[in-house]
A = this chain, B = another copy of it.
Amino acid sequence: MTLSDQTSPANATPASSSAQKALLADLAATIGAGHVLTGADMSGHTGDWTGKYTAEPVAVIRPGSTQEVAECVKLAARHGVAIVPVSGRSGLVGGAMTQGGLMISVERLNRIREVRAGSRLAMVEAGVILSRLHEAAEDEGLYFPLWFGARGSAMIGGVLSTNAGGSNVLRYGSTRSLCLGLEVVLADGRVLNLMSELHKDNSGYDLKQMFIGAEGTLGIITAAVVKLVPKPRAYATATLAAASLGDALRLLNRLQAETGGLVEAFEYMPMVYMDRLEEVRPDIRQPFAPKQAVNILVELGATAPRDVTLAEDGSLPLTGLLEEVLAAMMEEGLVLDAEIASTEQQRRLMWERRELSAEVTFARKPLIDTDVSLPLEKIETFLAVMARRLPELDPGATSLCVAHLGDGNVHYTAFPTRDDPALYDAVVSAVEDEVAALHGSFSAEHGVGLSKRNSMARRKDPVALDVMRAVKAALDPEGRMNPGKVIPARG
């Protein structure tokens, strides 16, 4: 068994040719032939952003309502076909792959059913693109506080199914904690209606938590009730240099306490990242010359008039607060240097440096990208160990990383000197060995899908795996919901 399992098929259930025809006819009768895509018509749905995976479904179907999703799931059950939900296809772990299964796209479930501003919530369907929800909330002076690069294509269904992370988890919590209610089509085609608007509800098990982050292996999320928060009316943004990651964490705690919890983002970019950014995008101005070892993008967000009402000289009080706190920390040596954005353009530049990480990372190949999380105070150790281990495995290899530092979420990427599956496995093993030794996780925010199934088998506590298998068997006894994903086969 190798760790690079890009070619592993999802163990779907391909039907015989005549059985396939019967299935397709039934589906067409249920949702209309125009929404049952086969052959070349599927091409817009079968690839993903990584380019590593290509699905080969029996069909891609586009039901137009929860009830139609339920009918299609029942049909698939009757025909014994596996079901793979797909939404914005911005996932990075092959979670929407299939060989022979039926791909259910939620793209037509695209209504924002309601934005209830007074109650600070929205009812949205699974096919709503994240940035559309951002816009709808903003129209009411509110914000759905989940923010990451792929927001222009990721859909709510996938966002919830993968418990997607991003840059604002630090302030507003995980996707899981932003979800009040959920609507799910179960493996037998029944609709589980958990569309609660309640902030407290202890009437039995919190079932929605099972489906959030389950990557479609327990059911298909068709709609959700999500929390909204007051949209920050102003931001203060800075790029800082710190002497060490330990100092950066102390700095974060100080910033949180001294601003009263206004920190929206705290993103780490080490010198190796800034070097690569300069190579790939020399047009992007660097923050510090000479370059600094530990660069932090910090952003405060505020709604209070005392923070956001411009002073007579046109200055923003929130920026003044940030300057004041940083000045004190510079005096103490916690901050070595700082660049504070004084215009929206400067703020955008700071974010661009960070959000170019995908472009910067994927510009060099071959690469081995990871998405790990660590106890906050162990990140420095992890990076130090990898700086020693990687050259042992491949003397010419280079690496870079970026991190959502406040969440302990590190995206470490190695660039080996050759495209060698054995080397790939050795590097991933070294990363995961060290993460495990430091009580971290081999999957922080991207999920498991296909690509980390073997890591699940090797790294996850066997008792936890057993409990997951028991839950999976209880909810999907025929194993037809996104089979082969998340949970590795026994033994």
Instruction: List chain A positions with a Cβ less than 8 A from chain B.
Output: 116, 118-120, 162-163, 165, 169, 173-174, 176-177, 186, 190-194, 196-207, 209-210, 212-214, 218, 230, 249-250, 253, 256-262, 302-307, 321, 373-377, 404, 406-409, 439-448, 452, 455-456, 459-461, 463-465, 467-468, 470-471, 473-475, 486-487
Known pairs A261-B303, A306-B321; A444 contacts B201 (CB<8 A): yes
Q: Beyond A192-B464, A204-B486, A209-B209, list 7 extra A-B contacts (CB 8 Å).
A: A116-B377, A165-B202, A169-B200, A197-B375, A199-B407, A203-B456, A210-B210
| A304 engages B257 (CB within 8 Å) | yes
| Bound-complex Cα distance A191 to B464 (A) | 9
Contact of B258 with A190 in the complex, beta carbons under 8 Å: no
Indicate if the CB atoms of B377 and A471 lie closer than 8 Å. no
Known: A305-B258, A474-B473. A165 touches B200 (CB 8 A): yes
A200-B408 contact in complex given A206-B213, A377-B119, A470-B474, C-beta closer than 8 Å: yes
Asked if A441 contacts B203 (CB within 8 A), the reply is yes
Task: Find out whether the CB atom of A191 lies under 8 angstroms from the CB atom of B249.
Answer: no
Cβ contact within 8 Å between B373 and A448: no
- B contact residues around A258 at 8 Å (CB): 303-305
User: Given B190, B204, B214, B260, which contacts A456 in the complex, CB threshold below 8 Å?
Assistant: B204
How far does the alpha carbon of A467 sit from the alpha carbon of B259 in the complex, in Å? 44
- Looking at the complex, which one of B119, B406, B443, B463 makes contact with A190 (CB distance below 8 Å)? B463
Distance in angstroms between the alpha carbons of A206 and B174 in the assembled complex = 12
**Which residues of chain B come closer than 8 Å to A163, judged between CB atoms?**
202, 206
- Determine whether the beta carbon of B202 is less than 8 Å from that of A445: yes
**Docked complex Cα distance between A209 and B471 (Å):** 13
In the assembled complex, 16 residue pairs joining A and B whose CB atoms fall closer than 8 Å, in A order, are A165-B202, A176-B209, A186-B463, A192-B461, A194-B461, A194-B464, A200-B409, A200-B445, A204-B464, A205-B214, A206-B212, A207-B464, A209-B209, A257-B304, A259-B304, A261-B303
- Report B-chain residues with C-beta under 8 Å of the C-beta of A374: 198
Question: In the complex where A204-B487, A261-B303 touch, is A253 in contact with B467 (Cβ < 8 A)?
Answer: no
Q: Which of A119, A204, A212, A452 has the most CB of B within 10 A?
A: A204
A162-B307 in contact given A210-B209, A302-B260, A463-B191 (Cβ < 8 Å): no
Taking a contact as CB atoms closer than 8 A, the residue among B191, B444, B468 that contacts A202 in the complex is B444
A448 and B204 contact, CB distance less than 8 A: yes
Report the 7 A-B pairs with minimum CB-CB distance, sorted nearest first: A209-B209, A474-B474, A260-B304, A470-B474, A201-B441, A200-B444, A203-B443
**Contacts A173-B177, A197-B439, A202-B443 given; does A207 touch B119 at CB 8 Å:** no
Residue in B closest to A439 when the chains form the complex, CB atoms: B197
User: How far, in whole Å, are A116 and B378 apart by their CA atoms in the complex?
Assistant: 13
Q: Which residues of B contact A260 (CB under 8 A)?
A: 260, 262, 302-304, 307
Q: What's the Cα separation between A261 and B471 when bound, in Å?
A: 38
Asked if residues A441 and B304 are in contact (CB atoms below 8 Å), the reply is no
Given contacts A262-B260, A470-B475, contact A173 B173 (CB under 8 A): yes
Q: A257-B303, A375-B119 are in contact. Are A467 and B463 (CB under 8 A)?
A: no
What residues of chain B lie closer than 8 Å to A464, measured between beta carbons?
192-194, 204, 207
Shortest C-beta distance, A428 to chain B (Å), equals 14
Of A163, A196, A257, A448, the most chain B CB neighbours within 10 A belong to A257
Q: Which residue on B lies nearest to A217, using beta carbons?
A: B205
Selected contact of A203 from candidates B186, B261, B377, B448, CB within 8 Å? B448
CB distance from A92 to the nearest CB of B (A): 11
| CA gap between A439 and B465 in the complex, in Å | 36
Q: In the docked arrangement, what's the CA distance between A190 and B206, Å?
A: 23
Give the nearest-CB partner of A443 in chain B. Answer: B203
Shortest distance in angstroms between A182's beta carbon and chain B's nearest beta carbon?
11
Cα distance A465–B194 in the bound complex, in angstroms: 11
Shortest Cβ gap from A290 to chain B (Å)? 29
A421 to chain B, nearest CB (A): 23
Chain B residue, CB-CB nearest to A208: B209
Nearest chain B CB to A482's CB is how many angstroms away? 13
Q: Given A409-B200, A442-B203, are A376 and B303 also a contact pair (CB < 8 Å)?
A: no
In Å, the complex CA distance between A474 and B486 comes to: 19
| Residues A373 and B471 in contact, CB atoms below 8 Å apart | no
Cβ-defined contact, A198 with B474, below 8 A: no
Does the CB pair A467–B460 fall under 8 Å? no
